Structure 1
Amino acid sequence: MFEHDLTDPHEVGLNAERLEAIPEYFQSNYIDTGKLPCVATLVSRGGEVALEDYSGTTHIGEGEPIGPHTIFRIYSMTKPVTSLAAMMLFEEGKLRLDHEVARYIPEFADVQVFDSGNREDYTTRAPDRAMTLLDLFTHTSGITYGFLMQDEPDAIYRKEKIGAPTETLLEMSQRIAKLPLAFSPGTQWGYGHSIDVLGAVVEIVSGQPLDEFFRERIFGPLGMDDTDFWVPENKIDRLMACYSKHPISGEITLADAAGKESKLYSKRPKLLNAGGGLASTVRDYHRFCLMLMRGGTLDGARIISPKTWEFMRQNHLPDGQTIKAMGDKTFSEARMEGNGFGLGGSVLVDPVASMQPSSHGNFSWGGLASTFFWIDPVEEMIAIQATQMMPSGTYPIRPQLQQLVYAAVDW
């Protein structure tokens, strides 16, 4: 586990008293009230950690105190990792963003778009153009998620049990290709299994299982020893419990147990969920973010070129549009207003529209169980927040963290 010393916040232009108030805020408003089991918070500037706090326990109202050792299910914070893996292959000339997905997974050559009907009886039409790898990166592919509960295409995904842990990434991708898209590629922004399909492409192009590629090319060089698609037996006791809050009744229930009782993370899964399968620690993920903020390198390990990272954190949505403009009713792990989308995460293009203090170009994303990160390239600041409560919009802890962190900037 990566160790580090806290810096004096003043030395990096942050207000110590205001930073200290951040854990107190979440303790009194969320942990003491029984809304959350815990909140872990890390804030660094210029690569120096100014705040690292672990408040709460592994279970709501009980359990062991969380700490740097605690392993969290980071769900969609897996997406930036998979996107980075694909761009590493891009740097080697093994794939291009304008390549059609069917070049790697031939079943996508015949993909259709939902036209009318319902999950049992529907008609389709041909897409306006072929789906490209760029569409996968930016969630403009038309591929959806079954849990969205928004339209007939995602109902079809539920019927077909897309995302079930009984098949490989490639097998799931091949089945997705036989189902109707929610829209024609490039015409809308819609959250879905796009990064899972991109993960299958990474496996095909690299010739390696995704977990092996991650360990050899990313986690190993970065010293991210506690990050993987499952938690080995000698670490499983460090995996905390995960909860879910019902959107209507408000009832909080256990979604996945801690430690050895976990149904999802105690052994290597068949489906290496490229869009949401990783478990990690706050310190491990900070290593990942720090590598990106430093232009693709950390402690002598060069992962990608700084120009590639610069390219990844541009807004790649058509005509510079925002997520809001392209997908105003869909689920997102970042605020839609003011955010475009890069290669692996949201990119802030209009801080005023986001209604939050921030910097142009902030790169961020989050996970289903209320984990979140952002990288501010202007202020050279990284913030990471972790707890285990689904869904991610249960409480407004992400904007609240952002308000509190930027309020601590002195210079």
Structure 2
Amino acid sequence: MRRWRTEVLVRVALAATLALLVGAVCAVRAEAPQPAPRSLSPAGLERVSDYLQAQVSGGKIPGAILLIQQHGKPVLHAKFGERNARTHAPMTDDTIFRIYSMSKPVTSVAAMLLVDDGRLALDDPIAKYIPAFANVKVGVEQPDGKLTLTPLARPVTVRDLLRHTSGITYGFYGDSLVRKLYALAGLFDGDPDNAQFVDRLARLPLAEQPATLWDYGHSTDVLGRVIEVASGQSLYQFEKERLLDPLGMRDTAFFVADEAKRSLIAEPLPDDWFDRPVAGIREATAPRRWESGGAGMVGTIRDYARFAQMLLNGGEIDGRRYLKRETVALMASDQIGEGSGIKRDPEFYFPSSDSGFGLGFAVRTVAKPPLPAGEYRWDGVGGTFFFIDPADDLFVICMMQSPSQRGRIQTELKQLVYEAMGR
């Protein structure tokens, strides 16, 4: 009996000692100094401003608004040129932009609100919400140039929609047989609502098996319909109630409904190649039933700044939590990297070779000085773009309607921002 008590006491003592050691190690790790956020030099910020002013003066773009915000406060907030070269209306903070694919992060966050609610799961088959996808097939091109249809190796999931691994593509780039089917399918004919649009998509074959290739397409539009079914509301109603109104994003919607605000819409230069509708997205003032979660929103820089700051804060702002901190961390981490089995087509992998893709954002996985790893981002075909840098407690938003210049300006401006960084 005495021996048994001694053994018990020894075990208890050992366990207590181990707990203390683990606690001490965790405390040391928690107290380990983290690199301090870098600051932006006044001279560097002046070079950033001079760059955008030169784009306007040189006739490359009609105008732009830039916001660089660090530690919750603007360090550079500047307006350049005009929002409309025909009317010569100046660029102002209430200017409304077509944000196109910058809608995707908004829709992705809306979906993750439902995940946090427990009403949606990342590994749910989308056929649970959209039964038409239960019978979808994969189109496989044969050596003789014909297309054969094969069954799914596994169902398309909500996770696939968020990370663009669903096999659902676009029909306006590339020349594969499946993409040609998308282009000829009349997806945008008439005035479909989200349910009708997605049913049209479900009649088409997938471009590849789910979870095999990052393929940029209508995944986020389908995600918008999943949100509708899971929430019992239209996509806009759900986003307005749970995200847009609480954040104060009062000018973010799927079209500009208020006639008094239509003069605030930014326009590209008259000779810009994008001065026309693309991919079924009509004029910003046209009421429509289709609420494209992938490319249909309009909004202002001050609206998107609220959204970006909420993400940078780890899912909360002004004392209100929107997403769990771990949910934001998951969204901003690479989901298609080594071990995922997901390939990248060099011709159509838009995040860039040094970046992976999370749940709604491109994520830089390899530092490319001066650009850091860990920054996450996306952009819109009309010229708008943003990136969030958690390590430096920083986000940058540039709003312009200059589609033919967007790639060049995004690359050059980001380089200038990080060159302005110092320790």
TM-score clears 0.5: yes
1:303 and 2:319 are equivalent in the alignment: no
CA deviation map 1:303-354 (0-9, x unaligned): 111111111111111535699x52222152x3x21111111111111123xx
**Which 4+ runs in 1 deviate beyond 4 A?**
320-323
Q: Which one of the candidate residues 336, 344, 347 is aligned to 1:317?
A: 336
Unaligned runs of 5+ in 2: 1-36
Q: What pairs with 1:24-63 in structure 2 (closer than 5 Å)?
A: 24-28=50-54, 30-60=55-85, 63=88
Q: Deviation at 1:239?
A: 0.7
In structure 1, what is the Cα distance between the partners aligned to 2:74 and 2:359? Answer: 26
Q: Distance in 2 between matches of 1:176 and 1:77?
A: 22
- Tell me the distance in 2 between the aligned counterparts of 1:121 and 1:61: 49
Q: Is the contact between residue 227 and residue 279 of structure 1 (CA under 8 Å) also seen in structure 2?
A: yes
Matched, 1:255 2:267: no
Residue 110 of structure 1 and its aligned partner are, at CA, apart by 0.9
| Map 1:207-246 → 2, pairs under 5 A | 207-231=232-256, 232-242=258-268
- Secondary structure (helix, strand or coil) at the match of 1:351 reads coil
CA contact (8 A) 1:131 1:141 kept: yes
Counterpart of 2:383 in structure 1 is 370
The Cα of 1:53 is off from its aligned counterpart by 1.0
Provide closer, same or farther for how the CA distance between residues 273 and 21 of structure 1 changes in structure 2, counting only shifts above 3 A.
same
Contact 2:334 2:363 in 1 (8 A): yes
Does 2:39 correspond to 1:13?
A: yes
- What code does the residue aligned with 1:77 have? M
**SS of the counterpart of 1:385?**
strand
- Are the aligned partners of 1:79 and 1:195 in contact in 2 as well (CA < 8 Å)? yes
The unaligned stretches of length 5 or more in structure 1 are 1-10, 246-250, 257-261
> How do residues 9-408 of structure 1 correspond to structure 2 at under 5 angstroms?
13-28=39-54, 30-60=55-85, 63-116=88-141, 122-164=147-189, 166-231=191-256, 232-242=258-268, 252=273, 254-255=275-276, 264-317=283-336, 319=338, 325-330=343-348, 332=350, 334=351, 336-352=352-368, 357-390=370-403, 395-408=407-420
Q: What's 1:3 paired with?
A: none
TM-score scaled by length of structure 2: 0.85
Higher relative contact order (CA 8 A, sep 6+): 2
Q: Which moved more, 1:51-60 or 1:101-110?
A: 51-60
2:391 counterpart SS class? coil
Q: How far apart are the structure 1 equivalents of 2:86 and 2:374?
A: 39
3-state SS of paired residue (1:283): helix
> 1-side partners of 2:222 and 2:99: how far apart?
19
Whether the 8 Å CA contact 1:244–1:389 is kept in 2: the answer is no
Secondary structure in 1 aligned to 2:253? coil
* Counterpart contact for 1:226–1:280, Cα < 8 Å: yes
Percent identity reads: 36
TM-score, L = length of structure 1: 0.87
Q: Output the CA distance in 1 between the equivalents of 2:189 and 2:65.
A: 30
